[in-house]
Amino acid sequence: MALIVISMILNIYIGFKNKDYEKAIFGCNGIAGLVFYSSVAAGLVGTLMFDVKVMSTPFVIFLIVIPLVCIFCRTPFSIAVKYKQWRLSEDEEKMTVGNFIVENFFEMFEFLLSYVSNTMSFLRVGGFVLSHAGMMLVVMTLMEMCSAAAQPFVLVLGNLFVMVMEGMIVAIQIIRLVCETKTRKEIATELYLSEGTVKRHISEILAKTGYDNILRLAVHAVSTGLIVPSMTKGANGE
């Protein structure tokens, strides 16, 4: 959540720097979006984790409903701020009231889905961080149990073990996503890696397994039951 908030703050700074008030103030990643997302996150954390009733009526109205209204009407609001007069954009002037409501409703619904998906994505990354922290905790515990002379060797060997294990985790994740017919770009997005890094991992996997094609390896992994993919709508993968 902190990373999402930081990215919103950077977006607000860039928006003000470029005098893009719609983006900086009323956008889903602007001040309105920041207030909405932070308020919902604080309300859920306070209620679920600390049993503190944060979601009072004033809280919901001023920190959740009003920011949503600002996001919904972001274009006319930004024009009012910039030109000191209330009017719609040229495209919106040609719309009927119904079209304006429907279009902005679905755009706002898309924004809300992006908040949820981004949060869940970072939670998944947090799982990798926790696994790394757990393995390093074991290494540090073993190091403290050894004599002073042996501690540097335990630390080095422990770090090598952790790196090998995390490399194996990434390799397994890549093979799993290939089995789900993900493209290299989709795999990079899913694992927060660059496409070049994914390509390098695939080359290393093929070199170590003796296969000349990642699809053949994926077929072997699925047919032998090593990986059970959750099939989604496919694309032509690597």
Q: Mind listing the pLDDT tens digit of every residue in the chain (238 residues)?
A: 677 888 889 989 998 988 888 889 988 889 999 999 999 989 888 888 888 888 889 999 999 999 999 998 887 787 777 777 666 666 656 666 777 788 888 888 888 888 887 777 666 667 777 888 888 999 999 999 988 889 999 999 999 999 888 888 888 888 888 888 888 888 888 777 888 888 998 998 999 888 988 888 888 888 888 887 765 444 444 4
**Residue 50 · residue 103 · CB < 8 Å:** no
> CATH for 146-223, among 2.40.160.40, 1.10.3720.10, 3.30.70.100, 1.10.10.10?
1.10.10.10
pTM: 0.54
Please calculate the CA angle 218-219-224 and round it to the nearest 5 degrees: 100
Q: Is the dihedral of CA 54, 55, 58, 63 positive or negative?
A: positive
What does the pLDDT read at residue 121? Answer: 67
Q: Phi/psi of residue 224, each to 5°?
A: -90, 0
Tokens matching residue 119: 């949060």
Q: Phi/psi of residue 198, each to 5°?
A: -65, -45
What does the pLDDT read at residue 232? Answer: 46
